[in-house]
Each structure stands twice: as structure tokens, then as C-alpha cells.
Structure 1
Amino acid sequence: MIKVDENDPVGEVQLSFPYRDVQIKRGLDPKEEYDLQEELGRGKFGIVYRCTEKTSNLCLAAKYITCPKKEDRRNVEREVDIMRSLQHPRLIQLYDAFENGKVMCVILELIEGGELFERVIDDDFILTEKSCTIFMRQICEGVDFIHKQRILHLDMKPENILCLTKTGNRIKIIDFGLARRFDPDKKLQVLFGTPEFVAPEVVNYDAIGYGTDMWSVGVICYVLLSGLSPFMGATDPQTMANVTIAKYDFDDEAFNEISDTAKDFIRKLLLKDMTTRMTAQQALHHPWLSDVVVPEMELDRTNLKKYVIRRRWRKAINTIIALKRMGAEIDTNLI
């Protein structure tokens, strides 16, 4: 059995590399400096490969993004600019960046522990409410740092929380492709995100803020503890309609063994009014994450396993759609 280390992480693991003031290298092929290896994953925004820097033999991840339009290139440039400001142990680190014609490549820290939710549903893994607090505290630490840099992540979801290793208890927040710099004195509106985790103000195209990310943190916590999605509908429009109403409950038996303190933590995040939600700093001082002894009994992960399988299928379908848009030939009989 793999039982997560329920002691608070002491100290920080040594960084894979020191801070680098990355500037985009234009007109250069990253293969001149890096050896590409196996594919690690792909999605609607690009393909990620394992790679090794030729001069140092450092193992990294290379994310290739096709940029047929100037807007696509500007989006990657914004992501690189934002990541240069985010040097923190809870956040994936930027190593290098290239522009070569209509293809851009971002070289990132290699994180090999896999998605958090994928790991905790493993048959050999024991998940407890205590271990959930360890993960959620680190998520809030990462979000707190992001917000202190006046940046919004805007795509907080389980797929974007990775385990640093396959056995340790440290996590990393990844994917700043939708992140935006934020000036609280200026109105910012967006109309993107994952329906299941997006906040009411996004669906309604109202002004967003730091609380927008904290809503998503609340949804992640709800799902991690119960395996249930508080606002999931049969379709994306139904899900977004449920989000705008902002009504949910803890009536399912999955919450019978969950502490009242944990439920209070979620309640203080899933508030319709963005300004009333806990900030990341306040979340870190909430009793559930700071000083309350929480249950250490094993949680029933039946719902969580079903949830992860459902998201795997959705992710696969989205990948197929993205590949078709890029002109790939897909044999649907193999799916």
C-alpha cells in the first residue's frame, strides 16, 4: 500500500535548476540545443515531449505549440512573460523558449509524478482527509504566490495539478496558457475556462478577480474529498447554468465521514459573490488547513475513480478533435 506522507513537507526539495531570466529565442530550432525523446502528452494547444539539454544532460519537457496566427504567437509570448514572474516551489518552472516560424516551443521543468487525481485513485494508494489537507494546502500556497504577483491562473482544475514524484506528497500547479496579469483597479472580463470549474462571474461575463481562482480551488476540494462534481450537468450549458445558480449540497453519503471543518472550508470558497470568498491567504489560515486534527480514516474512492475515468474519456475526445483540426487522419474505429 502507498500511504501518502501525512507529515507536513519540511523544507523544500532542491530545484531542478536555478532561476533563469528566459527570453524567447527567435529563428532558432530547439533541436539544436535539445534532444527530443518520447511524447509525454498532447492536447488542443500542442504536444509535449521529454527532452534533454545537450550541454548539461538535464531532463526537461518541451511543449510544442503550432501558431498559424499572430494571436496564437502572442498567447504563447504572454504565457512565457507570466511564467518568468512565477518562481515558486509549487509552480512549474520555465527553462527556455523558442520561436521558429509558425511553431513555438517552451522548455519546462519535467514533472514525473503524474496528475494528482490519477495518483490518488491507484489501488495501492490510501487517501484520507488528512492527506487531502496536505494537497490542498500546497495548492493554496501556489495560488497565493500567483496572486501576490498580480496574476490570475484562470484554469485551475485537476489536470493542472501534478505530483512532483510518484511517492512524495508535493504538488506543482502547471499550465499558465490562460493566465492573465491583473490590475485590481481595472475591470477584467474573460469568457474561457473549463465549465465544471469556472466561476459564476466568468459564465456571466462579469468582472473577475482573485476570487475567480479560489472558486475553482473550492470545486477541486469538493471533488477530491467526495469524487462528486458539485455543478456537473448532462451538458456544458447545463453545467454552466448550475454554476450561475451556485447551489450545491453535502447531502450525498460520500460526505458522511467528512469533517464539518472541511465542509466549512468549501462553503467559504463556493460563494456566488466573488468578493466574499476566502483569499488564498485566508484559506491557508482556515482551521482545516492550519490547526485542526482531521480524520485519518481511508476515504471511499469509488466515486473519484468513476470521475477520473469520465474525465479521461472527455480528454481523449478533446484531443481527437484537436488533432483533426490540425489535419491529422484519425481512424475512429480504433477508439
Structure 2
Amino acid sequence: MRTLRCLMVLLALASPLAAQDTIRISEPVTMTVIPVAPVVTIPGPSADTTFLCQTIREQRERSWFSWSDYEVVEVTEWAPCAGAVDPGEPTSPTPDPDPQPDPDPVDPDPIDPGDAWYVQTWDFSNTSQMLAAPDIGNATAGGGRVSLITNAGGPGFNRAVRATFDANAGGEPQVGVDIYFPNASRDRPREIWFEYYARFSSNWEVNGPYGGSAGHKHLFLFDQEETGAGRWEHITGLFGEVMSMQIAGNLGPGGQQAPFRPNFRALWDGDWHRFRCHARMDPRNGVWECDIDGQLFRWGTGNTSRGGGYYFNQMALSRNLNKGTNRTMTLDFGPVTVYTSDPGWQ
């Protein structure tokens, strides 16, 4: 009985080796014993031995087969495969001597609206959703279109609205969006401060090929009646000569145009420019002024009031391009932030 038991143990040890192929490693190595694949020493190659060539080593790294399916054999002599190259000692990847930092995240320095009365960040899924918003209106009347852009690359923002003026669309094309302040009827603001960024395409022009006087209505403020008498205007390139700020069509007492005669064309460079504006309805000490990239430009002082019942309730971003254009041009507006108390800009 004891002899029979020993024979059964020997057969059990031999059976795994007979049922498996073997892989011979091409040079002496120290192997870790795998429980399901006993490590043995074979002095030389045999018919069922596979030598570990460089290509198989690469396959092992990519896990194209599992090593547990094979018996790992340790050998003491070099037996190269046909065309095999001694891979030598494994090497670690050479570190980059001058690694580049990860790119800045989107909106690296987002605009802080603080205690803003109204904020529009153009955070919509698409143009249709934007134009369907209750506080947004499409002020386009032929000759172009407005669209949402999500790769604006602005200082602290990536979303903006774009007004595209088509080439040769005729005179007086109107392209832009209106913003209706949601809480205007409740708060009735007669003094507001607002900030936005604007970007003119580098091919911008106001002296188009069609009739009329040159100029583009860059921005309007309205009271609750959108009429000429209640229109606060910001016009670029008026008569092709000045950056004009007007109220109800009048330059007003003390109107200042010189700062942008003719340097307003410097805005037409394809870059973002910051506008910080201030408007106040007042019968004696009205205000209509904008700081553009640190340069103050104002209408002056005087009567800016139509009576106690009026207040600011609407803003228009881009309107008429009086003489049209013979080239396709774009004007982008970034986030708009409106305050009803002094934000303390420096």
C-alpha cells in the first residue's frame, strides 16, 4: 500500500509538466516561484521549449497572454532565438529634463461679479437656447446673425455672444442682442454701472460701400420707452472720425470726443477690450461715461433726465452699421455685469 501511494504522488507531480508547453528565458535570471507553475532547471533545450525573444517580451508587457498558462523554466546557458537581440538590462523611461506645466484650466481668472444687480455670462447650451431666454432678445434685422461662442478665450471667460455682419448685405444692416433687466420694474434704477468686454474683428470698418453717414451703434441704453428721446448711445466711428457718446442724439454740454479722435481704430485689432461704463439720470448732474482699457471717455454733465418716472430697463449690444460693409466682420461681447451701486472700480 505504501508503494502504491508513492507512485500516485509521483504521477501527480509529473502530470502538470506533461500537459503544458514551456518557455525558456534567453539568459539566466532569478525567477519567483509561481504556485501553479513549478520552477525546475533544465540544462539544455528540448523540442517543446520556446525561447523568450524580444518580441515575446514586448507582448508580455502588453498582457497579450497570461504567464500563468505556461511553465517558467530557469536555464543556465544562453540560447538565442533566430534574429533575437539581447535586450540587456531593462531601463526606465528617461525623465523630461524640462517638463512643461499643465495648461491653464478654462477661465483661469474668472470675473468676480461681487454684489452685482444683473449678470449675463452667456452660459447657454446653444444659440437657440440663448435667444429663447426671457432676458435676451434678438435685435437682428437682416444682413447678419448672432450666435453663441464657447471658445472666446477672454480674460476670465470663454463664452460670448457674436454679432456677424455679412459682406455686401446693403446699407443699415442691424445685428445684435438686447438684454432686458429682469428686476428693472421693481428696482427702477436711474443710475447704473456696468462692465463688459468687446472684441472687434481685425478687419472692422465703418466706411462701408453704401449710403449714409459712417458709424456703428456699438451700444444703447434705454428707459422703459425705446425711443430716440430716451436713447443713450455709444457709437464707434461716427462720421468715420470719432468715438461718440450721446444722449437722445445730443452731444450735450462739455461733450468730450478728443480722446478717441482718431485712436478709436486701435480697438479694431481682434483683441478683447474692457469697457466700464457709468450712466446717471439727473436733471442737473447727469453722467454718461465709459472707461475703455483705462482711458476715460465721457459725454459730460448736464440734464440727463426725462422725468422722475423713467429708469434704465434695457441694454442693446450692437445695432446698426450705417453704411454696411463689403467684408464679413464680427463683434463679440463677453459677460455683462451691471451694478446699481458704485462697485468701486480703480
TM score, norm. by length of structure 2: 0.24
> Which of 1 and 2 has higher RCO (CA within 8 Å, sep 6+)?
2
Name which one, 1 or 2, has greater alpha-carbon Rg.
2
| Higher normalized helix content (fraction of residues) | 1
TM-score (norm 1): 0.25
